[in-house]
A and B are shown apart, each in its own frame.
Chain A
Amino acid sequence: MPDDEETLDLSGVPCPANSARALIALEGMPDGRVLLVVVDDGEPVRNVPPSLEEEGHAVVRREKAGGRWRLWVRKGG
């Protein structure tokens, strides 16, 4: 993954505001760019990836760290 990736920390942000904020952040990025999104374990990690994928973005990697998940999301066209 590139070193200059942008990070959006959505820990503590409930559903679906977390998905909404991730989608807004992706709007401002060029296609193909990767956004690192941090979400809570549980409902957020179950809800956010499908919401982003429905909009054409791809979750290319996920990693659990403590009670949170790091999701690498590639902006879709």
Chain B
Amino acid sequence: MPLRDAGIYLDNAATTRPDPAALSAARSFEDAHHGNPSSLHGPGVAAAREVERARQAVADALGAAPDEIVFTSGGTESNNLALKGAAPPRGGHVVVSAIEHPSVLRTADALRRRGVKVTVVGVDSRGLVSPAAVAAALTPRTALVSVMHANNETGTIEPAAEIGRLCRARGVLFHTDACQSFTREALDAGSGAFDLISVNAHKIHGPKGLGALYVRRGTRLTPLLDGGGHERGLRSGTLNAPGIVGFGAAVRLARDSSPYETQRLRDRLLVLLRRGIPGLRLNGPEGARLCGHLSVTLPRGDAKETARALSARGVFVSTGSACSAGKSEPSHVLLALGLTPAQAGRTLRLTLSRMTTRAEVDAAAAALVELAGGVHA
């Protein structure tokens, strides 16, 4: 039996520790059922029954119908399916925000290479996308708008429903990436504001490699994969039934838990850091932020070195920079908020979950205050 990761884990926006009950649901399913959930015999129907139970859980959490849920391999695939699947032909137009996840921004780049015009709408200093700016970007050729429900770095909650309603009024499809906010922040697919919603399992203490795309009934989408026509023809490939069962369990567990304790601890962490590190800057709004998110810019020092030093002390956080292909560049999200590259290089992201304790928050704050050269809280 491998040793369980020890330490204070404050990188829950990257991924969460799976809930033992979600893992247990997946394992129990796998022990009991090996049938392909697309097969018509008894073992197939038995597997399909548990898959459909999970589909209902995801649908309920989104205020959707089960038929509107397509299981995928995760948020990246859901975002790719939404954008590429709903993309207009050459000469058409798509709008995205500047703070989207790379799985939206790089997919928009791919559309650009296909001859689709892409407009990137900026954000204000809190990271908020203005509905008026989105409205101003729409043209008669706009087919799709994608604005995330909440940002993965700052936790800023976007006015996605308002943007969705204005898109609906103009006959434009609206997609939102809700991977960070799913089950934590209300999102009602039944409101009619959304055509496509991406969610995933591993951000809500579920298994990795599982996601879903809400596809509003009647929305035409071109699949990414050709094959056996699973998931109403939108996602061919044998379903990862054990993972889906774990996903469903994770959704039910998340909906049974309250975000308020996490928010209270997150606010406590901010108070301790502000008290101990004069000049600390909070990125994103004070209010409209996901319950567990904290993005802070240190007055001095280097975020990567600080994160490494914290890691050596058993406190795990991430920096405001994204690493790709061995090259480290300032976070596009922080730059979009107006931070300088130097400020972005001093930015840490600390993200809590429902498993975070007060003792962990206090210990993490003390460690960071000491490292950041401030006074002890």
Contacts and interface: CB of A to CB of B under 8 A. Distances in A.
Interface of A: 12-17, 19-21, 23-24, 47, 51, 54
B52 A20 contact: yes
B53 to A, nearest CB: 6
Interface stretch (B12-20, B34-42, B280-288): B34-42
Given A12-B67, A14-B232, A20 B40 contact: no
A31 B109 CA distance: 57
B37 A16 contact: yes
B92 interface: no
A16 B38 contact: yes
Nearest to B36: A16
Interface centre among A13, A24, A47 (most CB of B within 10 A): A24
A21 B48 CA distance: 9
Contact of B56 (A12, A16, A24, A47): A24
A21 B66 contact: yes
Interface in B17-68: 37-40, 42, 44-45, 48-49, 51-53, 56, 66-67
A16 B52 CA distance: 10
A12 B68 CA distance: 12
B48 A20 contact: yes
B129 to A, nearest CB: 36
Given A14-B232, A15-B40, A47-B40, A20 B49 contact: yes
B232 A16 contact: no
Contact of A16 (B45, B53, B67): B45
B52 A21 contact: yes
Contacts of B39: 16
Contact of A24 (B38, B40, B53, B67): B53
12 contacts: A14-B232, A16-B39, A19-B45, A20-B45, A20-B48, A20-B49, A21-B66, A24-B52, A24-B56, A47-B40, A51-B45, A54-B42
Nearest to A21: B52
Given A19-B48, A20-B51, A51-B45, 4 more contacts: A23-B45, A24-B56, A47-B40, A51-B42
7 A-B pairs closest in CB distance? A20-B48, A20-B49, A20-B52, A16-B48, A16-B45, A19-B45, A51-B45
Contacts of B51: 17, 20
B296 to A, nearest CB: 46
A24 B48 CA distance: 10
Nearest to B233: A14
Contacts of A19: 45, 48-49
B40 A16 contact: yes
B245 to A, nearest CB: 12
Given A13-B67, A16-B38, A54-B42, A23 B232 contact: no
Interface string B225-244: 00000001000000000000
A13 B66 CA distance: 10
Given A21-B52, A24-B49, A24-B52, A16 B66 contact: no
A38 to B, nearest CB: 14
Contacts of A13: 67
A22 to B, nearest CB: 9
Contacts of A20: 37, 45, 48-49, 51-52
A21 B45 CA distance: 10
A62 B66 CA distance: 25
A12 B40 CA distance: 16
Nearest to B53: A24
A23 B49 CA distance: 7
B219 to A, nearest CB: 15
B46 to A, nearest CB: 8
A40 B37 CA distance: 19
B42 A17 contact: no
Contact of B44 (A12, A16, A24): A16
A24 to B, nearest CB: 6
A54 to B, nearest CB: 6
Contacts of B56: 24
Contacts of A51: 42, 45
